[in-house]
Amino acid sequence: MSEKKRILSGMRPTGPLHLGHYFGVIANWINLQDEYDCYFFVADWHALTSEYADSSRIKGFVPGLVQDWLAAGIDPEKCVVFQQSMIKEHAELFLILSMVTPLGWLERNPTWKEQREQLTNKDIHTHGFLGYPVLQAADILMYLPDAVPVGKDQLPHLELNREIARRFNHIFGRDFFPEPKDLLTEEAKLPGLDGRKMSKSYGNAIGLSEDMDTIVPKVRGMLTDENRKRKADPGDPSICNLFPYHKLMTDPARLPEIEAGCRDASWGCVDCKKLLLESLEKFLAPIQERRKSLDEDTLADILNEGNKKARAYAQDTMQQVREIIGFDF
Q: Is the pLDDT of residue 1 over 50?
A: no
Give the pLDDT of residue 185.
74
User: Which is more confidently placed, 312 or 56?
Assistant: 312
Q: What is the pLDDT of residues 272-281, one digit of tens each?
A: 999 999 999 9
d(CA 41, CA 9): 7
Q: What percent of the chain has pLDDT over 70?
A: 94
Tell me the C-alpha distance between 225 and 215, whole Å: 20
Confidence (pLDDT) at 209: 95
pLDDT band, very low/low/confident/very high, at 2 (cuts 50, 70, 90): low
pTM of the model: 0.91
- Above 50 in pLDDT, residue 38? yes
Q: What is the mean pLDDT of residues 201-229?
A: 91
Mean pLDDT, residues 127-148 taken together: 93
Mean pLDDT across the stretch 296-302? 96
| pLDDT band, residue 115 (cuts 50/70/90) | low
Rounded Cα–Cα distance for residues 122 and 116 (Å): 9
Closest CA to 70 of 288, 280, 284: 288
- The answer to whether the beta carbons of residues 257 and 216 sit under 8 Å apart is no
Residue type, 183: L
**Strand 147-150 to strand 181-184: parallel, antiparallel, or no bridges (unpaired)?**
parallel
Q: Which domains can be identified in the chain, with CATH numbers?
A: 6-190+296-325 (3.40.50.620), 210-290 (1.10.240.10)
The residue that leads in pLDDT, 192 or 54, is 192
pLDDT band at 184 (very low <50, low <70, confident <90, very high): confident
Backbone φ and ψ for 79, nearest 5 degrees, come out as -130, 160
The per-residue pLDDT for 225 is 84
Percent of the chain with pLDDT over 90: 71
Give the pLDDT score at 67.
Answer: 97
String of b and e for 194-227 (b: at least 16 CB within 10 Å)?
eeeebebeeebbbbbbbeeeebeebbeebbbbee
188 within 8 A of 248, measured Cβ to Cβ: yes
CA torsion 301→305→310→312, rounded to 10°?
A: 140
Q: How would you list the strands of the sheet with 6-11, edge to edge? A: 79-83, 37-42, 6-11, 147-150, 181-184
Q: What's the rounded mean pLDDT across residues 54-64? A: 90
Calpha distance 102→218 (Å, rounded): 47
Q: Does position 195 have pLDDT exceeding 60, yes or no?
A: yes
pLDDT digits (tens, 9 = 90+) for 306-317: 999 999 999 999
In sequence order, what are the beta bridge partners of 10? 41
Does the pLDDT of residue 123 top 80, yes or no? no
**pLDDT, average across residues 71-94:** 98
Has residue 196 got a pLDDT over 60? yes
Q: What is the pLDDT of residue 125?
A: 73
HSE (side-chain half, CA atoms, 13 Å) at 201: 5
114: confidence class by pLDDT, cuts 50, 70, 90 = low
Residue 268 pLDDT: 87
